[in-house]
């Protein structure tokens, strides 16, 4: 997984207590600390005795630039109450890795080390506890562990669920701690306002590919980045998100259900049965307007005559207009990727397709880029995003657009 963009400083001003318990996944905590600090957070590391068998406090101190705490009786605290002071200073306590033993002791309220003690002593209404379990697949699936996971969540902890994959013991299965980049995304998402909690959002993203013959086709330069950023932002905002993606090479955002398609017709076939069950439909995909009327059975070859083959074209279905015309449509948001006169063309699209909002942008200036400038066009007028007309990271724009869409929804 590539490193996530850090220029948003998503955790600026946040103070994170990062707890490490005994497990080989401690090596990932070093990278997690680096990513947290790059995202703007300050990180205070607390380690159990077991954790110190896998990674040293020296390493964690160097990465966090703060002294590491390992003992309940640490005399550096003036009142000798590290468990009180550390928990009161935190915006969140993150335990990564959280071993089966540590989770069991949290459930039982056993506090025989500093980390479990400060978790118990934290102000539960203001200092959230996030757990990233890490253990062998048999340990994870054991009924005792599953009972403990249910109880610790009932007690108020938030679980960053483990992934399935190769484990240090040589086995393969669930229980592997999430990668540092995934944990960072999970923590960032935790802090985002849940303006779409309980809502269902359907998004299309990327280009479509319209085949001419078995080896050639018609497509465009859309990278899908804006649509994927919107999927991530909507999921961060608490929505259940379904992403219908054209042919792109992007990782699926956390918590998002992804359906892969190629052509415009395939995209419509995926979207139409789902649309009515969603609260919002965001048509970010750059759908080809036309397709070859017939698919050649074999590759079309040059014959040396210099004659260009004539390819008859058919108009593709209009996915956004089709959804907007449903008897009970979701709130429909369209995108207009233009090369000129963005406001004019976006308003025409708004009126022609009878949707609530069209988001305009200059396609050639944004395809494949990590930043963009948008123009929000609705019945009331035009609004640039950002407000000063400058460019901004697509994820920042996506979060602002999600907040705007949430304000347009009727109260649940």
Query: Domain of 112: which CATH number?
Result: 3.40.50.1950
411 known ligand binder? no
317 known ligand binder? yes
User: Has residue 80 been placed in a domain?
Assistant: yes
Dihedral (Cα; 331, 333, 334, 335), 10-degree rounding: -170
Positions marked catalytic: 169
- Asked whether residue 161 falls in the same domain as residue 20, the answer is yes
Question: Residue 69 in contact with residue 42, Cβ under 8 Å?
Answer: no
pLDDT, residue 366, reads 75
pLDDT, residue 7, reads 55
The CATH number for 374's domain is 3.40.50.10300
Q: CA-CA distance, 231 to 225, in Å (whole number)?
A: 10
Domain final residue pick, 136, 168, 191: 191
- Asked whether residue 345 falls in the same domain as residue 209, the answer is yes
367 known ligand binder? no
Domain final residue pick, 191, 225, 240: 191
- Asked whether residue 213 falls in the same domain as residue 284, the answer is yes
Q: CA-CA distance, 28 to 96, in Å (whole number)?
A: 8
Range of the domain at 175: 15-191
User: Has residue 401 been placed in a domain?
Assistant: yes
User: Has residue 302 been placed in a domain?
Assistant: no
pLDDT, residue 306, reads 83
- Asked whether residue 134 falls in the same domain as residue 249, the answer is no
Name residues whose C-beta falls within 8 Å of residue 40's C-beta, 6 or more positions apart in sequence. 9, 10, 11, 12, 13, 14
Could you tell me the mean pLDDT of each successive run of 10 residues in the chain, 412 residues long?
A: 56 97 96 97 98 97 97 89 94 98 96 96 97 96 97 97 92 95 96 96 96 92 94 97 96 96 97 97 94 89 85 93 96 88 89 93 76 91 89 94 96 76
- Asked whether residue 220 falls in the same domain as residue 285, the answer is yes
User: Has residue 380 been placed in a domain?
Assistant: yes
- Asked whether residue 244 falls in the same domain as residue 110, the answer is no
- Asked whether residue 213 falls in the same domain as residue 137, the answer is no
- Asked whether residue 20 falls in the same domain as residue 133, the answer is yes
User: Has residue 396 been placed in a domain?
Assistant: yes
382 known ligand binder? no
320 known ligand binder? yes
- Asked whether residue 168 falls in the same domain as residue 266, the answer is no
User: Has residue 375 been placed in a domain?
Assistant: yes
User: Has residue 9 been placed in a domain?
Assistant: no
Domain final residue pick, 157, 191, 225: 191
Per the structure block, which two tokens stand in for 296?
């050649």
Q: CA-CA distance, 221 to 147, in Å (whole number)?
A: 49
Q: CA-CA distance, 102 to 256, in Å (whole number)?
A: 30
User: Has residue 234 been placed in a domain?
Assistant: yes
- Asked whether residue 146 falls in the same domain as residue 214, the answer is no
Q: CA-CA distance, 123 to 355, in Å (whole number)?
A: 46
How many structural domains comprise the chain? 2
What is the value of pTM for the model shown?
0.90
- Asked whether residue 29 falls in the same domain as residue 176, the answer is yes
- Asked whether residue 341 falls in the same domain as residue 398, the answer is yes
pLDDT, residue 4, reads 41
């Amino acid at each position: 997984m590539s490193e996530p963009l850090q220029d948003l400083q998503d955790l600026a001003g946040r103070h994170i207590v990062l707890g490490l318990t005994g497990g080989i996944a401690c090596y990932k905590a070093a990278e997690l600390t680096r990513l947290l600090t790059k995202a703007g957070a300050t990180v205070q590391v607390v380690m159990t005795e077991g954790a110190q068998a896998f990674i040293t406090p020296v390493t964690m101190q160097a990465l966090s630039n703060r002294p590491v705490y390992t003992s309940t009786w640490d005399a550096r605290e003036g009142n000798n109450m590290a468990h009180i002071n550390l928990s009161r200073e935190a915006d969140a306590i993150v335990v990564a890795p959280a071993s089966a033993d540590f989770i069991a002791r949290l459930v039982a309220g056993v506090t025989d080390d500093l980390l479990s003690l400060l978790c118990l002593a934290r102000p539960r209404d203001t200092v959230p506890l996030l757990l990233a379990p890490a253990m062998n697949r048999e340990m994870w699936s054991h009924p005792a562990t599953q009972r403990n996971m249910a109880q610790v969540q009932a007690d108020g902890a938030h679980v960053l669920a483990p992934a399935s994959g190769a484990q240090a013991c040589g086995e393969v299965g669930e229980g592997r701690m999430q990668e540092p980049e995934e944990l960072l995304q999970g923590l960032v998402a935790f802090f985002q306002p849940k303006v779409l909690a309980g809502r269902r959002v359907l998004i299309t993203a990327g280009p479509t590919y319209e085949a001419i013959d078995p080896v050639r086709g018609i497509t465009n330069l859309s990278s899908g980045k804006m649509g994927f950023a919107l999927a991530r932002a909507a999921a961060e905002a608490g929505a259940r998100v379904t992403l219908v993606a054209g042919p792109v090479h992007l990782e699926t955002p956390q918590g998002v259900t992804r359906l892969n398609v190629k052509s415009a017709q395939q995209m419509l076939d995926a979207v139409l049965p789902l649309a009515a069950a969603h609260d919002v439909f965001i048509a970010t995909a750059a759908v080809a307007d036309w397709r070859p009327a017939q698919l050649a059975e074999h590759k079309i070859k040059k014959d040396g005559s210099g004659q260009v083959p004539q390819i008859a074209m058919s108009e593709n279905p209009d996915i956004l207009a089709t959804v907007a015309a449903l008897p009970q449509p979701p709130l429909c948001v369209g995108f207009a990727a233009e090369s000129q006169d963005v406001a004019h063309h976006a308003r025409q699209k708004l009126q022609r397709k009878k949707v609530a909002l069209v988001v305009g942008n200059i396609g050639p200036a944004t395809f494949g880029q990590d930043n963009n400038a948008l123009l929000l066009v609705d019945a009331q007028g035009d609004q640039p995003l950002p407000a000063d007309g400058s460019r901004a990271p697509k994820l920042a724009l996506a979060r602002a657009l999600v907040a705007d869409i949430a304000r347009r929804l009727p109260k649940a």
